[in-house]
Amino acid sequence: MRHLYSLFLASAALLFTVRAFPSTTPTLELRADTFENPVLWQDHPDLDVFRIGDVYYYSSSSFAFSPGAPLLKSYDLVHWTPVSHSVPRLNFGDKYDLLTSSSRAYVKGIWASTLRYRKSSDTFIWLGCIESGQTYVWTADGTNAAKNNGEVSNWTWKSKGTLPRCYYDSGLFIDDDDTMYVAYGSKEIMVAQLNAAGTAEVKSQQVYASPDGAYIEGSRMYKINGTYYIFVTKPADDEWVLKSSSPWGPYERRILVDSIAGPLSNAGNSHQGGIVDTKDGKWYYVAFMDAYPGGRIPVVAPLTWTQDGWPEVTRVNGEWGKTYPLPVRTDKTVPPPTNIDTFMGPSLSHEWEWNHNPDNSKWKFVGSSGGIQLQTATITTDLFSARNTLTHRILGPKSSGTFRIDISKMASGDRAGAVLFRDVAAYIGIHKEGAVSTLVMVNNLNLTMSTWATSSSGKVAASGPTVAAGTTDLWLRVEADITPAFGTSTARKATFWYSLDGKKFSQLGDPFSLTNTWQFFTGYRFGVFNFATKALGGQVAVKSFQLQKL
């Protein structure tokens, strides 16, 4: 997870243009015999993947976004949709609640974690080490997933406490006899055996030491044809395979991938992740690429096996292929990532995550008309310290996020709008002072790398017209290009737009330069916010959000 690179930081300026946006009629995607990498152009790193019946499940990290540990499903390893979060709330300490500007959890929280289904108890089990301390355990009833061909009728996650040891970058494995093991560690790979209930450790021992002390992490443990495997990554280029006849070793090592070129330019090499089989016995490696400014995105490649039991990635001209045959042919499908969300409730869809834990007393669904009400939850001048910023992953390589907002109940001193959220951020929104509501584009919102303290709370880069105080329909749009530019001096751009009728959009401010640095770990997101600078009491209603690929 802690990759070592060096990149640059870019800045932004001003512009004003007018645009009419294209129609948004949805189209059905035709099924093909092949697929293209990346399979999902969204930030879903540190993945763990497995199959139950016809259903593939994918768990990933989420850092300080809440709820955490998003869980996706697929029927073909190519088309994915979020269905749950394994950690409903980040109950890891006060810093995850954004209670003060000096106590925040940026870059902390849920890193590489692990999820598995235990057939004997019909239970999903999630494990994650938080801040190199304890390992937290969450479980969900499987609702007879094994008997229902992998389908889960509803997800209800419950905290099962903690294990005292940090199972760093862990991989949970359940053996044929139902014994639970956890592979974990860096440089030295350990295997722990849990008790029958999964609530305590029985034993733990080192099973492999990295040659020359090389840093390795991201353990995933499997048993295939009676042989035990631990897959580990040597960030950020290589994937190693450890192989043994016993979970306790000794383990042999081979290199699965070694700095092979990936399917996208200006992105890192494919590594980490895990492997999974199909019902007809084929195997696939699901990895990710460092694709900043968009984050880390998943790619898939077929696996074959040598006669002596070592996996090999199927390459195309010596590289990770851009295109491969579709892993599974099926009529089952999942919803596409582009959509319109009118927030009908009773809960937020799993595309959404708050920046840190929300103050649930300060937001609610509006009612039968749809929408969510965001009351001001924090008095601050710093967006990075404001509670209840709601975020959505960007769809690459280019997409827009459009929020339709009712600003009629904002109070003097309130700030509300649509943000392009990361450690170097910008937004378009309303600054209300007295009875005057002014459209602004604000950039230069920056966190200091490594300490993640706010170095700049932003400056108004462009001002638009004043908006009538009683405005109940204001459309705010962010268009973002997250085409990979990792390790380059190229700055991808985002633009900010507004409309009073939902049809004719005007750009406000110059294109904003996205940063390509990796240290914040997560990629850019769309977000919507509302905070106070004077007193609490104001509110906005977010009527809808549309994600559209450009």
The answer to whether 228 and 219 are in contact (CB under 8 A) is no
Tell me: the pLDDT tens digits for 266-290? Answer: 999 999 999 999 999 999 999 999 9
Strand-pairing partners, residue 341, are 545
Whether 26 has a pLDDT exceeding 60, the answer reads no
* High-pLDDT (> 90) share of the chain, %: 91
Mean pLDDT, to the nearest integer, of 442-459? Answer: 97
Mean pLDDT, to the nearest integer, of 502-514? Answer: 98
CA-wise closest residue to 319 among 388, 377, 264, 401: 264
CATH of domain 339-549: 2.60.120.200
Mean pLDDT, to the nearest integer, of 241-245? Answer: 99
Give ranges for CATH 2.115.10.20 in the chain: 44-325
pLDDT for position 31:
57
Mean pLDDT, to the nearest integer, of 394-402? Answer: 99
Q: Are strands 157-163 and 171-174 parallel, antiparallel or unpaired?
A: unpaired
Rounded CA separation 312/328 (Å): 20
At residue 336, what is the residue type?
P
pLDDT for position 9:
31
The answer to whether 496 and 428 are in contact (CB under 8 A) is yes
Q: Which two tokens stand for residue 332?
A: 């089952």
Record the pTM.
0.93
The answer to whether 143 and 117 are in contact (CB under 8 A) is no
Whether 5 has a pLDDT exceeding 60, the answer reads no
The answer to whether 304 and 314 are in contact (CB under 8 A) is yes
Whether 357 has a pLDDT exceeding 80, the answer reads yes
Task: Output 261 or 256, whichever has higher pLDDT.
Answer: 256
Mean pLDDT, to the nearest integer, of 99-123? Answer: 97
Architecture of domain 44-325: 5 Propeller (2.115)
Whether 8 has a pLDDT exceeding 50, the answer reads no
Report DSSP state, residue 226.
Answer: T
Confidence grade of residue 243 (pLDDT, cut at 50, 70, 90): very high
Compute CA distances 298 → 58, 71, 81, 273, 285, whole Å: 10, 14, 13, 8, 10
